[in-house]
Amino acid sequence: MKPIGLLDLAGETALFRKEILEGIQTVFETCRFVLGPQIEELERRLAEHSQCRRGIAVSSGTDAILCALMAAGVGPGDEVITTPFTFFATAGCIHRVGARPVFVDIESDTFNIDVSRIQAAVTSRTKAILPVHLFGQCADMDEILHVADRHGLTVLEDAAQAIGATYRGRRACSMGKAGCLSFYPTKNLGACGDGGMILTNDEAFADRCVVLRNHGQSRQYEHEHVGGNFRLDAFQGVVLLAKFRRLEELTARRQANAERYNERLADLPVRAPRVRDYNVSVYHQYTILCDRRDDLMAHLKAAGIGSGVYYPLPLHMQPCFAALGYKPGGFPKAEEAARRVLALPVHSLLSTEDIDRVIDEIAKFYGKKR
Ligand SMILES: Cc1ncc(COP(=O)(O)O)c(C=O)c1O
C-alpha cells in the first residue's frame, strides 16, 4: 500500500515548480537578491488578504515575533501573557527581548489559551498579550482585546499556523496591534526555506518594523535603534507569490479533509478537534485527543501512515525556562494535551481514500468495526 505522509512537501512544491523556476530566473537577471520587488508585491498581497494595511516580510516566523515585540517596546522587566502549549518560538522570543513569559492554561477542546484566565494573570508589569492561533484556529480574540483594552496592553497575534483563518469574520493578524506569520516550508503557505511576515493596521508600528528589520537603520549607516537582520530573500518572494495564488484552493482541500475526518471519527473513541462556531479554521494541523497515543502512533506507522505530536512538552516544563519557577501540574490542560494529542495527515494532496484509510486504521486500533 502507498504510504500516507503527514506532509507531502515534494508533491505540493511540484505543483509550482515551473512558475518558481521562471521567477528565480528573473531574480538572477536583476540580481536583487534581498527584499526587492517580489517581496514588496508579497507584502501588498498578504496585507490585503489579512485585512491589514501593511505587511513587513521578515526572515522567519520567529523573527516576525521578535521584531514585533521589539517594535511594541517590550523589554526587560515586562511580562507577556501567552500559552504554554505552542511552538517554542512564541515564548523564546519573549525571553529574548528580556521580558518574562507568563503562561495561562489552555482550553482542552480548542487547545488555545483559556481567555477566562487571562485577567487573573495581569500584573503591574504586564505589557502585552501574545495569543497563538494554534493548529489553524483563532483564539477567542474579543475577550483578549477586552482585557488588553482595560489594562492598556499590546496584543500581538502569533498566527504562524493560521494564515487565512477568521474569527467572527475577521482575519488572523488583523485584530491585535500586529500579527505574525511563518512561511516555514511545512506551513499552509510555505517557502523553500525560512520566511515570515508581520501584518498590521498601524502605520507607525509598520514603519518601526521596517527600520528594525534592517538593523534599526533609519538612513544609510545611521542607526536610531538596535534592530537585526530580519530581511527576506527575493527567492522566497518568488516561491511565496506563486503559492499564494492557490492558497485558498489548497486551504479548501484541507478543510474538506477535516470535514471528512469529523464525520467519520464521530463514533470512534477519539476526540476530533473542536472549532468554535464563530471561527473558520485553516487546519494547519488536524489534531485529535486520544488514549494510548503512542501505541496508536506506532500502529499507524506500521500501516504506512504518518502522524505527529505537537507538542510533547509544554513550555513551562522546558529546561531553559526552569528559572521561571513553574512546576509540572501548573497547567493541567496543557499537560494533558501534551500526553494525548496526535496530528493526522490533512494536507491538500490527500484523497478521500487516503483519509478513509487513516480512519479505518484508527478504528482497527481501538477494535471497532467500520
Ligand atoms: C505557533 C508558532 N509560532 C512561531 C513559529 C516560528 O516560525 P518559524 O519556524 O518560521 O521561525 C512557528 C513555526 O514553526 C509556530 O508554529
Chosen domain end from 202, 219, 244? 244
Q: State how far the alpha carbon of 355 is from the alpha carbons of 163, 331, 365, in Å.
A: 23, 33, 16
Q: State how far the alpha carbon of 327 is from the alpha carbons of 25, 43, 203, in Å.
A: 53, 42, 41
Distance (angstroms) between ligand 1 centre and the Cα of 299 equals: 29
256 contact partners, CB below 8 Å, separation of at least 6: none
Distance (angstroms) between ligand 1 centre and the Cα of 87 equals: 6
The protein residue whose alpha carbon is closest to atom 12 in ligand 1 is 160
C-beta of 38 in contact with ligand 1 (< 6 A): no
Q: What is the pLDDT of residues 102-143, one digit of tens each?
A: 999 999 999 999 999 999 999 999 999 999 999 999 999 999
Q: What is the pLDDT of residues 136-164, one digit of tens each?
A: 999 999 999 999 999 999 999 999 999 99
Q: Is residue 217 part of a domain?
A: yes
Domain of 323 in residue numbering reads as 247-365
Give the CATH number of the domain where residue 337 resides: 3.90.1150.10
Distance (angstroms) between ligand 1 centre and the Cα of 179 equals: 12
Q: Helix 234-244 to helix 37-49 angle, to the nearest 10 degrees?
A: 40
278 shares a domain with 201: no
Residues of the chain with confidence (pLDDT) below 50: none
Which residue is it, cell 487571562?
118
89 contact partners, CB below 8 Å, separation of at least 6: 61, 62, 65, 160
Separation CA 73–CA 356 (nearest Å): 49
79 shares a domain with 141: yes
100 shares a domain with 144: yes
355 contact partners, CB below 8 Å, separation of at least 6: 257, 260, 261, 264, 345
Q: Is residue 4 part of a domain?
A: no
pLDDT of residue 1: 85
pLDDT of residue 75: 98
C-beta of 112 in contact with ligand 1 (< 6 A): no
What is the SS3 assignment for 248?
Answer: helix
pLDDT of residue 201: 98
Give the CATH number of the domain where residue 213 resides: 3.40.640.10
pLDDT of residue 369: 75
17 shares a domain with 131: yes
Chosen domain end from 190, 215, 244? 244
pLDDT of residue 266: 94
C-beta of 290 in contact with ligand 1 (< 6 A): no
